[in-house]
């Protein structure tokens, strides 16, 4: 193995490292480090043979590990937030979903809110996405499977996870994540987020407006205002001041 001097390393870095991808840089730097160590061992008379990386796998894992971690959990309501459903077919509600609850078979007709699938895809890169609905599991699972065939939604919470009082179902976000500095909810119902109002963003209920832009607005708003290492409660306070017409005050 040729001895790699300090000047030779500078030449190699100048010629090959500048235009290399992040993965290639990682591989080259580690390989050069092994070569330098090998040269030193050979000069010292060591019988050890030192090899560089044979593949990119280890390097890629180290580079992307932090990138794939989701710091924040975004909890989403289902009905009138992401979809609308009814038990009677109309020309507007076009997707039929059959739900079995006990011995009863029920049919629901569903329409997905404009931009909902794009919203899930885009924000899944930044947040852990969770559904928290007051609906029954049997119904919610069918609807979510239709809404999110790609599996961007990672966890699901149903009526049995809600806190019921005086006939109203409340959503306690600590059941999703005990760290409320990193957890927030988007819901069309004030009661749905009333247990953790400082962690909630209110969205306009959706019924049939095909020109609705709310999810597109929220997509851009969250990307711009939720910053790494920050307390989500403070981020929400800032958004409420900046976008009073779109979020809960």
Of residues 13 and 154, more confidently modeled: 154
Q: Which residue has the tokens 């993965």?
A: 23
Of residues 24 and 138, more confidently modeled: 138
Instruction: Please list the active-site residues.
Output: 77, 79
Does residue 40 lie in a domain region? no
| Domain total in the chain | 1
Q: Which candidate, 109, 120, 125, places its Cα nearest to that of 147? A: 120
| Ranges 2-16, 151-165, 198-212: which has the least confidence | 2-16
For the cut 90, the answer to whether the pLDDT of residue 40 exceeds it is no
pLDDT at 198: 96
How far does CA 99 lie from the centroid of its chain? Answer: 28
Does residue 17 lie in a domain region? no
**How many beta carbons lie within 10 A of that of residue 61, not counting itself?**
10
For the cut 50, the answer to whether the pLDDT of residue 221 exceeds it is yes
Does residue 230 lie in a domain region? yes
Does residue 124 lie in a domain region? yes
Q: What is the pLDDT of residues 151-182, one digit of tens each?
A: 999 999 999 999 999 999 999 999 999 999 99
Does residue 155 lie in a domain region? yes
Does residue 49 lie in a domain region? no
Q: What is the pLDDT of residues 87-121, one digit of tens each?
A: 999 989 989 999 999 899 999 999 999 999 999 99
Q: Would you state the structure tokens that stand for residue 198, as one six-digit string?
A: 């400082």
For the cut 50, the answer to whether the pLDDT of residue 83 exceeds it is yes
Does residue 57 lie in a domain region? no
How far does CA 154 lie from the centroid of its chain? Answer: 8
Give the CATH number for residue 188.
3.40.50.1000
CB 199 within 8 A of CB 185: yes
Does residue 135 lie in a domain region? yes
pTM above 0.85, yes or no: no
Query: What domain range includes position 129?
Result: 72-82+113-243
């Amino acid at each position: 193995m040729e001895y790699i001097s300090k000047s030779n390393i500078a030449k190699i870095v100048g010629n090959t490292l500048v235009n290399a991808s992040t993965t290639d840089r990682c591989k080259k730097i580690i390989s050069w480090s092994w070569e330098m160590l090998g040269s030193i061992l050979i000069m010292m008379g060591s019988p050890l043979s030192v090899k560089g990386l044979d593949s990119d796998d280890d390097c890629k894992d180290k580079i992307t590990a932090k990138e794939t971690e989701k710091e924040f959990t975004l909890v989403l309501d289902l009905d009138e937030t992401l979809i609308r459903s009814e038990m009677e077919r109309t020309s507007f509600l076009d997707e039929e979903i059959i739900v079995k609850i006990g011995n009863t078979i029920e049919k629901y007709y569903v329409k997905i809110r404009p931009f909902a699938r794009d919203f899930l895809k885009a924000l899944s890169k930044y947040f852990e996405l969770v559904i928290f609905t007051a609906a029954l599991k049997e119904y919610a699972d069918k609807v979510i499977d239709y809404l999110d065939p790609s599996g961007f939604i990672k966890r699901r919470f149903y009526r049995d996870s809600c806190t019921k009082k005086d006939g109203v179902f409340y959503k306690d976000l600590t059941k999703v994540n005990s760290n409320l500095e990193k957890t927030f909810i988007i819901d069309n119902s004030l009661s749905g987020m009333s247990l953790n109002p400082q962690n909630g963003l209110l969205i306009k209920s959706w019924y049939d407006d095909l020109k609705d832009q709310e999810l597109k607005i929220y997509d851009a708003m969250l990307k711009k205002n939720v910053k790494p290492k920050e307390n989500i409660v403070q981020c929400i306070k800032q958004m409420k001041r900046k976008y009073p017409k779109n979020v809960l005050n």
